[in-house]
């Protein structure tokens, strides 16, 4: 009864948010470039907005699990709640389209100068929401402030040498890399590398102000209003350069409800149009509702345990292998859906080790005890597992805890808040971590988590695992521009990781969301984040 009351209260809160008068908004004056009689060949002014269409006056209400901390990727490590807005109000140089293909965006093309330098050619018709033209100076500035903010500096230092970038003219610059990186364009599509207007950013007052009032973007939408604890609203950006994008809604409103079941009920009640970040049981509970459409989207990521191999007893492969023998990955599949994954490079990724998916994972308690005894732990041992604060992870962790107890291993669960989790993860401040492989990272970062030549800050956590047998294979993936050679190297890497077990894969992720019937097109970016701006009637 108590849970029902909590859920009903949450729905009432969402309903009240949806009914709030949104006429009180930030002063968005000077949001359009002045119109002139110049010819189409002159790009000194922003193009005219599209003719008014069916989107005018329409609002899409989306409910997610929590309130963002900030709305600038440069401000720090963030998650889905921030990214939903960031992806809508900013562009990157290259970005995924609705099919998940990486396509030119603010950059129209590029060419390799040598292994460490790329010449990037920018569009000459991109404006921010206030009508300021975007040039190479804005691109360099966007990267520099990300580095200088300190909160997300690793995203920049691991790939780029910014003090060697060269602006050749307003729409051409040469990017300098720290090391050859054949997959750098995947990296550049991340939310951390959004492009903003230097002039508007400075007029807003810098990082702190722009993080909360980000009227400096170039995206399909522009920031409109943030009512703390209630909602964030964005509005179609009439200065948006790509006129082939036709919005379905003039306004998009993001509301926050912590309980998954309450988010589903918000859509059922009509308080919201779309609910994101849902648990499988809550979604299955409405499968027979004719007014609700369930969306199940396979993601290029999976639930994974990394062992901190610099801490005992996880430096011993026999201990890691014994734990793998005690765990049944089908526990995670039963809880959260998906299919079994062996190493974290999940099915669906083009470099996935497909043959490895057929290797059975069976529980062998006696075999695990024998390995533990051989490693010097006949009576087992105790360790702490830090658990990512994501939906269903605590339940999966409890299932693992029960399995390990059968082998004499006492696993203590650490359930940190998001700030604590993100504070501990980059320094490997854990014995082991139950986390998401592929969440907001490129495969390069994933592999560095098993490459002892990189520190944990550069790899954003991982296994602190050193194996010289991997070095040449890793370098082939990092530096070889031949996609077939890279794929072959990654498959060999997965085979070694499967045998050595510094990582244990569990299940691929299914992204569950629901919408009112007739609304869809919930598509993901390369990092598994929904792209809210593409949602529309179907």
Three-state DSSP state, 494: helix
Name the percent of the chain lying above pLDDT 70. Answer: 86
For 37, other C-beta atoms within 10 Å of its C-beta total 6
Least confident among 4-18, 184-198, 241-255, 276-290: 4-18
Instruction: Name the residue among 386, 383, 363 with its Cα closest to residue 316.
Output: 383
pLDDT of residue 180: 80
From the list 445, 139, 449, 517, the residue with the least C-alpha distance to 308 is 449
pTM: 0.74
Q: Above 60 in pLDDT, residue 422?
A: yes
Q: What is the pLDDT of residues 384-400, one digit of tens each?
A: 999 999 888 999 999 99
Q: What pLDDT score does 439 carry?
A: 47
Distance (Å, rounded) from C-alpha 378 to C-alpha 374? 8
Q: How confident is the model at residue 382 (pLDDT cuts 50, 70, 90)?
A: very high
pLDDT score of 32: 30
- List Cβ neighbours of 38 (8 Å cut-off, separation of 6 or more): 44, 45
Query: Residue 233's pLDDT band (boundaries 50, 70, 90)?
Result: very high
pLDDT at position 152: 63
Q: What is the pLDDT of residue 57?
A: 92
**Nearest CA to 107 among 89, 125, 87, 128?**
125
Do 428 and 456 contact (CB within 8 A), yes or no? Answer: yes
pLDDT single digits (tens) 20-70: 443 333 333 332 322 222 222 333 344 454 455 689 999 999 999 889 888
Nearest to 195 by CA among 45, 86, 83: 86
What three-state secondary structure class fits 212? helix
Q: What's the confidence (pLDDT) of residue 345?
A: 78
- Range in 171-175, 228-232, 246-250, 438-442 with the lowest mean pLDDT: 438-442
Contacts of 4 (CB under 8 A, 6+ apart): none
| Rounded mean pLDDT, 412-425 | 90
**Sorting pLDDT into bands at 50, 70 and 90, what band is 146?**
confident
Query: pLDDT at position 368, please?
Result: 97
Per-residue pLDDT, averaged over 232-257, amounts to 93
Confidence category of residue 265, pLDDT binned at 50, 70, 90: very high
The alpha helices in 234-309, defined as continuous H runs, are 260-269, 280-284
- What is the structure's pLDDT at 151? 61
Extract the tokens encoding 308. Answer: 């901190």
- pLDDT bracket for residue 98 (50, 70, 90): confident
Q: Tell me the pLDDT tens digit for each residue of 298-320.
A: 877 788 999 999 999 999 999 99
What pLDDT score was predicted for residue 335? 84
- Sketch out the chain's domains with CATH numbers: 57-71+78-90+219-291+517-538 (3.40.190.10), 91-200 (3.90.76.10), 299-509 (3.10.105.10)
Burial of residue 304 (CB within 10 Å: 0-12, 13-18, 19+) is: buried
Percent of the chain with pLDDT over 90: 55
Q: How many residues make up the chain in this entry?
A: 538
pLDDT category, 426, cuts 50, 70, 90?
confident
- In DSSP terms, which residues pair with 169 in a beta bridge? 172
For the chain, the average pLDDT equals 85
pLDDT in tens, 124-141: 999 999 999 999 999 999
CA distance linking residue 296 with residue 509, whole number of Å: 10
pLDDT (tens digit, 9 = 90+) per residue, 349-365? 777 888 887 888 899 99
pLDDT tens track for 433-455 = 999 876 445 677 788 888 888 87
Residue 517: its pLDDT value, please? 95
Tell me whether residue 31 is exposed, middle or buried, using C-beta atoms within 10 angstroms of its C-beta: 0 to 12, 13 to 18, 19 or more. middle
Among residues 439, 87, 391, the alpha carbon closest in space to that of 258 is found at 391
286-299 pLDDT, tens per residue? 999 999 999 988 87
Helices (H), 69-120: 80-89
Compare 506 and 375 and report the one with higher pLDDT: 375
């Amino acid at each position: 009864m108590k849970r029902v009351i909590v859920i009903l209260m949450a729905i009432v809160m969402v309903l009240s948010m949806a009914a709030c008068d949104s006429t009180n908004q930030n002063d968005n004056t000077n949001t359009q470039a002045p119109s002139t009689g110049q010819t189409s060949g002159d790009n000194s002014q922003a193009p005219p907005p599209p003719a008014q269409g069916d989107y005018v006056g329409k609002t899409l209400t989306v409910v997610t699990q929590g309130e963002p901390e900030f709305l600038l990727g440069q401000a720090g490590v963030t998650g889905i709640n921030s990214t939903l807005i960031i992806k809508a109000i900013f562009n990157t140089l290259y970005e995924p389209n609705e099919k998940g293909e990486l396509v030119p965006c603010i950059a129209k093309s590029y060419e390799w100068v040598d292994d460490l330098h790329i010449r990037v050619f920018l569009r000459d018709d991109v404006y921010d929401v206030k009508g300021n033209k975007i040039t190479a100076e804005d691109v360099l500035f966007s990267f520099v402030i990300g580095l200088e903010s300190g909160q997300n500096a690793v995203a920049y230092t691991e790939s780029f040498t910014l003090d060697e970038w060269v602006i050749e003219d307003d729409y051409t610059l040469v990017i300098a890399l720290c090391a050859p990186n054949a997959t750098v364009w995947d990296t550049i599509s991340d939310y951390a590398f959004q492009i903003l207007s230097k002039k508007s950013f400075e007029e807003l007052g810098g990082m702190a102000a722009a993080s909360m009032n980000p009227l400096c973007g170039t995206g399909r939408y522009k920031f409109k209003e943030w009512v703390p604890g209630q909602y964030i609203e964005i509005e179609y950006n009439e200065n948006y350069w790509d006129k082939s994008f036709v919005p379905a809604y003039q306004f998009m409103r993001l509301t926050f409800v912590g309980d998954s079941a309450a988010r589903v009920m918000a859509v059922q009640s009509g308080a919201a149009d779309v609910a994101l970040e849902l648990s499988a049981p809550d979604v299955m509970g409405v499968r027979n509702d004719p007014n609700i459409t369930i969306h199940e989207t396979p993601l290029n990521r999976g639930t994974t345990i990394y062992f901190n191999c610099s801490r005992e007893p996880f430096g011993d492969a026999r201990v890691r292998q014994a734990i793998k023998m005690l765990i049944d990955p089908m526990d995670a599949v039963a809880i959260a859906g998906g299919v079994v994954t062996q190493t974290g490079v999940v099915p669906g990724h083009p470099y996935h080790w497909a043959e490895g998916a057929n290797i059975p994972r069976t529980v062998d308690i006696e075999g695990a005890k024998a390995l533990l005894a051989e490693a010097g732990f006949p009576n087992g041992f105790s360790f702490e597992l830090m658990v990512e604060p994501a939906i269903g992870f605590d339940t999966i962790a409890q299932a693992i805890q029960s399995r390990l107890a059968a082998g004499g291993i006492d696993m203590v669960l650490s359930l940190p808040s998001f700030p604590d989790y993100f504070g501990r993860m980059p320094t490997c401040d854990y014995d082991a971590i139950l986390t998401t492989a592929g969440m907001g990272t490129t495969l390069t970062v994933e592999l560095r988590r098993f490459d002892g030549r990189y520190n944990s800050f550069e790899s954003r956590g991982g296994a602190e695992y050193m194996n010289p047998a991997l070095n040449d294979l890793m370098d082939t993936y990092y530096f070889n521009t031949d996609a077939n050679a890279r794929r072959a190297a990654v498959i060999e890497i997965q085979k070694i990781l499967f045998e050595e077990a510094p990582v244990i894969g569990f299940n691929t992720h299914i992204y569950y969301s629901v919408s009112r019937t007739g609304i869809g097109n919930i598509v993901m970016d390369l990092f598994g984040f929904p792209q809210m701006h593409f949602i529309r009637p179907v």
